[in-house]
Amino acid sequence: MRRFKSSFIADMKIISHDAMLLVTGLIPLVLILLLKFVFPLISHLVFLKSGFILDKYYSLTALTIVSLIPVFLGMLYAFILLDENDLEIIEESDMKPFSGKNSLYMRILVTASLSFILIYISIFLINPVPGEGWLRTLFVVLLLSLQSPFVFLFIVSLAENKTEGFALSKIYGFFLITVPLGLVLHHPWNYLAFFSPLYWISWAWLIPTQAESLIYGAIATVITSVGIIIFFRHFLRKHAS
């Protein structure tokens, strides 16, 4: 816990010195607040003006926003690791950085833990899938939390600097877009979303049958685990040479 706390505080200091990192970390929070307080107002105005019921898209929007949380946290910690000024910033404080594998392991742990906490709080605030029990919610939170290490390792294993990492984060947008599109597209177009673990997690959350939910969750876990192993090994090989 001491090392976890030390790493977390050091990384927060880095974020506070970088406007890009700060904005990246705040985007999910802003979107959640907009959904919580602004979406109902917009929905009411749209209904009064046109009679269109925007509320029927609330769950789809909320699912997409919740899926953004682990993605942005993974991006955030990848940018921290790639930032050439990390060591210079940390040395100004009392916190000592972890090096090599220790830094990688600690940030994987931190990003997954933060994702779990923030996703759970977000679900409590905006309730994307009303009527779900706490066990299904916990299951989904665990699945989504694994996406942070997936995104983190995807970026740091392939990028050499923060500029390249930012470009790679745009590629991951294809994984994100599968959440809204994969849920509204009909057979066979939804096959195009099968590559994304976020697609399977969304269905694991929405599907009423528990058995199917477990199957979809297992598919998401396999895709995520394979990706994490591949990118983790690639990162170690790249830094061993």
| Mean pLDDT computed over 39-57 | 91
pLDDT score for 11: 82
State what percent of residues in the chain have pLDDT above 90. Answer: 54
123-180 pLDDT, tens digit per residue, is 999 999 988 788 999 999 999 999 999 999 999 999 988 888 888 888 888 888 999 9
The whole-number pLDDT of residue 190 equals 87
pLDDT in tens, 87-113: 444 444 444 444 456 778 888 999 999
| pLDDT score, position 236 | 86
Rounded to the nearest integer, the mean pLDDT of the chain is 87
* pLDDT at 20 > cutoff 80: yes
| Global pTM exceeds 0.85 | yes
Q: Which position has the token pair 């057979």?
A: 187
Q: What is the average per-residue pLDDT within 187-203? A: 92
- In this structure, what token pair is assigned to residue 209? 């049958």
Residue, of 88 and 218, whose pLDDT is higher: 218
Residue 69: which of 143, 132, 160 has the closest Cα? 143
φ and ψ of 43, to 5 deg: -60, -40
Rg of the chain in Å (alpha carbons): 19
Q: Which long-range contacts (CB under 8 A, 24 or more apart) does 165-169 make?
A: 165/75, 165/78, 165/79, 165/82, 166/79, 169/75, 169/78
